[in-house]
Structure 1
Amino acid sequence: MTIEGVSGRTSYLGTSLINIRTQLDTLTQQLASGRKSDTYSGLGMNSAFATNLRSQLSLLSGYQNTQSNVTTRINVANLSLQGLIKMRTEVQSAATGSSQVLNANGQTAGQQIGYASFTQAISMLNTQSADRYLFSGRSIDTPATAKADDILNGADGKDGLKAVIDDRLIADQGTGNMGRLETDATGSVVTVGEDFVDSPFGLKISRIATSIAGAVVTQPSVPAPGTPSSETIDLAAATPKEGDTVTFTFTLPDQTTETIQLTATSETPPPAGSFNFDASDPTVTAANMKAALDSSIQTLVKGPMVAASAMAAGENFFDDPPLRVAGGSPVSPTATALVDGSANTVQWYTGEKLANPDTDARGTAVAQVDGAVQVRYGATANESAFRNLLQNMAVYAAVTTTVDPNDPAGQNLANAQISALNERVNANLAVKAGATSVEDIEAQFAGSQAATKAASTRQAQTTSMAQTMLDQIEGIDDNEVAAKILALQTSLQASYQTTASLYQLNLLKFL
């Protein structure tokens, strides 16, 4: 052991003691803090390396905070997506097995389930995570949709879906419930035509076919400019017999098709869907066929076409901008166009509007979760998968059916409307190949979540290694420092004793 001493009363004596004391203070501070130094300069050559490690740890900490936020938001969004899938399944089941019994409001039990599911779906699409609406794109402080009741019934002087459905039905049914078709029997020729060129309303003729020998049919073709489309059947050379049929195919407002088949019969009066024929007089046969066709068209228009019209109205309402029957209120049964209805119709979607929601929605929320990894987890409620779900639920919940007590066939027509509505809702809600579904969006969110989790795992390992290296540079060995402190304390004590003795030394004591 070396004992510091002095050779005389010089400044060297004090400097040596101060040096030992400084070392002791430094080691004591290290033992208390667990660190070699409070400044980077105290780390010597390793200071630059320590700075880089701390910068890396700070960056990783920022990524981890982002990952935590992203994971929370995706988890919340996934709960909504799972709920939407459940609502869709419930409505499909209700439409498939729905009773046709109407309540006091003119709706079935299945439609009541549809209403409850629609309101829940709206609530799910207006889900928030903290103060952020998850299905509004970048409009994070704005709800994604209007309120369910406002969508159905209107608000602030603007019409809701129910009013749009009512208006569209008037325009689709037309005058006399003929579905905007005009029929004629001139001589031996029966003609069926549309009432206006390129009108979006009513039935559209598609095809005509017959098993009557000698009858000549003319299929609808591209008409001359300004001339509505038409088709004919000429019975001049026909030889009809019992059981022969004529089939007319029509396209309904929602682009589905229905057929009317008329059967030649000798029964008097002829049953529904039949016409009496006169083998010797084609003029009589043509007149009877026209009468039977008119009756069958009216049955179609007052039955299944009511549901088809409601579906078309739903498409108009959920479009951007919403489309309304031209001409204002009251709607004319001879209206010929749809116009922008933004001024008088509730806007159902209130979030950020994108040029193409189906391709751009995910990019409305992007997070950097690693140096080279970005995840996209944005969503907008007007993506086709969500819109299709809401649109069909809303139409199902909005349609009401009444039974005309003055019409002997009133109950049959009501049942036809309900059956057609149930069939369309079930078909439209089914997942279709090539179309984006809620499950597809859920899978995209799952991919972002998996990428975030993988980045978090990698960064946890990197953080552990970087922290270990930094601890080795900045940290201390407690045992080693304690041993040094004991050695310095012993040295300092001996130095103090020696120094004290030297300061008391005189010539007499020396001799």
Structure 2
Amino acid sequence: MIGALNGYSSSAMMNVLRNNSSLMQDLTIQLSTGKKSQTYGGLGRDVGMSLGLRSQISAIEGYQEGIEQAQLQLSMMNLSLERIVEIGSEVSGSADGTQFDITSKNQSVGQQTSATLVKEMIGLLNTEVDGDYVFSGTTTDVAPALSYDRIVYGYNGQDGLIEVTDERIRADAGADGRGRLGVSTVASTMTITEEATDFGYKLSAVSNTLSNVNVTGPAGSPASIAVDVTAAPEQGEQLSFTFNLPDGSTEVISMTATTGVTEPGDGTFSLVGTPDTIAQAIEDELAFQLERNVAAEGEAASRIQAAMDFYMTSGGSEPMRVVGTPETATTLDTATVAGKPTLNWYVGENGTTNSRDTAEVQIDNGLEVSFGARANEDSMARQLAYMTAFALPTYDQNSDLDERRYTSFADAVSAGLSSVHQGDVVKTILTELGVANKVMEDADGRHVMTLSMLETASDEVEGINDEEVAAKIMTLMSTIESSYQAASMTYQLSLTNFI
């Protein structure tokens, strides 16, 4: 039985009651939150370890957030690039499989399909993910590719692809339509000579099985080939010239000696007459075939090369133009030097750094991954060049020359966009981005495991043992009840008043 309480013992008993009540509140909060303390100050000597663990957890969560955003962009980029590869294959197949069947719009179905797919490809290059244009280099707030109509027809006083290709075709053909080659005969010697120009056909090789005919060249600068007839060759013997075309392709013009009747362009020349007459016959056949070749195969090569010069602007370049009047021009230079305002189809960032390095994400301590891209990278610009060029020209269904023009061009486009020449190049970008994604996946896997370990360690430092805290609460409740009974006898308290 508690005896009379003086002021000191009464005060001490009340302090015990208050302390026990405060401790009960702390334990109850610990049990409900699972934490030892609601502030770092309550962790005592473990505060340093807790802060260190929290810092590591925060850093990893930041890496994971960056990886998640980058992988979202990579996912959309991969879908776009895979479709771009498919589009190239579709145009290649369409050009290869389309007969000379011209619609009321003076184009084949394959050409019209190509125009539609160019528009789709432009849309894919303008892919936007969460406000970022993923094919615009570092200027992710800018849609990198202009519209099809502006690219083709020009805009705001700037020439488009139609004007650029038209000038190049005229410059490569020359005023006489012979590919900037001079063909002439003096006495018994026929000579073919290049013009000193960036344009037209270039002499590559000559093959001669004609007896009594001496052939020299190609030699000199500009190069020339001389065919000197000393006497009549034999029936069936051949002479062939190989030319390099503006787009890097080659063409062979051959002719066969005959004593029979010849027609211009049939690939034969007459053996009848003197050496001077035979030399002139060789010139006549060569000139006819050359003009016909320039009008068809040559036009296709010029159109493709002009489109390449227009689209290939990576590394800060600008479209290339014919300097001066096309038929007499000698040089090809930038649009600025040529003084011909020309639309630049790509308006994103166009620096000299590697395109992948235009977007980076830190995925771990000291580890960054590059995953950027530009719409005017060579492989994609090349595909656009072939596809858009194919969509431009018109043809007359009833023209034999137009049939040859179309067939030559369609074959060139089909070959240029085949997987051998084009698809594997675009796939290289896919491969590079795939490697970046794999590195991110591996890092994220490490982060998941590390984060789990860090959170476990953090819980051990900051967390509680539920059973231990519950036991403490039960013990404390017993102590409070005992203290209350003693105090209530003195102060006539009730449990309700105490609480």
Within 5 A, what are the aligned runs for 1:106-185? Answer: 106-185=106-185
Q: How many residues align?
A: 482
Letter in 2 for 1:445: L
Return the alpha-carbon distance in structure 2 between the equivalents of residues 383 and 390 of structure 1.
Answer: 11
Is 318-327 or 294-303 further displaced after alignment? 318-327
Return the alpha-carbon distance in structure 1 between the equivalents of residues 326 and 442 of structure 2.
Answer: 61
Whether the 8 Å CA contact 1:384–1:436 is kept in 2: the answer is no
Equivalent residue for 1:324, pick from 321, 336, 350 = 321
Equivalent residue for 1:393, pick from 361, 367, 387 = 387
Whether the 8 Å CA contact 1:363–1:378 is kept in 2: the answer is yes
Return the alpha-carbon distance in structure 2 between the equivalents of residues 381 and 503 of structure 1.
Answer: 86
Alignment match, 1:99:
99
Whether the 8 Å CA contact 1:4–1:16 is kept in 2: the answer is no
TM-score between the two structures when normalised by the length of structure 2: 0.91
Return the alpha-carbon distance in structure 1 between the equivalents of residues 489 and 109 of structure 2.
Answer: 108
Q: Secondary structure at the match of 2:36?
A: coil
Q: Secondary structure at the match of 2:192?
A: strand
Alignment match, 2:348:
351
Deviation at 1:419, TM superposition (A): 2.0
Equivalent residue for 2:226, pick from 219, 225, 232 = 232
Q: Secondary structure at the match of 2:261?
A: coil
Letter in 2 for 1:318: Y
Alignment match, 2:252:
259
Whether the 8 Å CA contact 2:311–2:382 is kept in 1: the answer is no
Q: Does 1:82 align with 2:70?
A: no
Q: 1:472 to 1:7 in 2, by over 3 A?
A: farther
Letter in 2 for 1:278: V
Alignment match, 1:446:
434
Return the alpha-carbon distance in structure 1 between the equivalents of residues 169 and 291 of structure 2.
Answer: 14
Q: 1:140 to 1:159 in 2, by over 3 A?
A: same
Alignment match, 2:290:
297
Return the alpha-carbon distance in structure 1 between the equivalents of residues 422 and 180 of structure 2.
Answer: 34
* Alignment RMSD: 2.2
Whether the 8 Å CA contact 1:310–1:399 is kept in 2: the answer is no
Q: 1:488 to 1:414 in 2, by over 3 A?
A: same
Alignment match, 2:497:
none
Alignment match, 2:211:
213
Return the alpha-carbon distance in structure 1 between the equivalents of residues 490 and 292 of structure 2.
Answer: 128
Q: Secondary structure at the match of 1:345?
A: coil
Q: Secondary structure at the match of 1:392?
A: helix
Deviation at 1:399, TM superposition (A): 2.7
Whether the 8 Å CA contact 1:177–1:301 is kept in 2: the answer is yes
Return the alpha-carbon distance in structure 2 between the equivalents of residues 67 and 415 of structure 1.
Answer: 54
Deviation at 1:415, TM superposition (A): 2.2
Q: Secondary structure at the match of 1:119?
A: helix
CA deviation string 1:214-271 (max 9, x = no partner): 2111112133xxxx321111002x3312222221111111121111111222223446
Whether the 8 Å CA contact 1:99–1:110 is kept in 2: the answer is no
Q: Does 1:472 align with 2:449?
A: no
In the alignment, structure 2 segments of 5+ residues that lack a partner are 493-499
Equivalent residue for 2:240, pick from 232, 236, 247 = 247
Q: 1:433 to 1:325 in 2, by over 3 A?
A: closer
Alignment match, 1:508:
none
Return the alpha-carbon distance in structure 2 between the equivalents of residues 286 and 35 of structure 1.
Answer: 104
CA deviation string 1:124-183 (max 9, x = no partner): 011000110000110101111111221112111211111111111111111222221111
Return the alpha-carbon distance in structure 1 between the equivalents of residues 62 and 207 of structure 2.
Answer: 72
Q: Secondary structure at the match of 1:437?
A: helix
Alignment match, 2:495:
none
TM-score between the two structures when normalised by the length of structure 1: 0.89
Whether the 8 Å CA contact 2:207–2:239 is kept in 1: the answer is yes
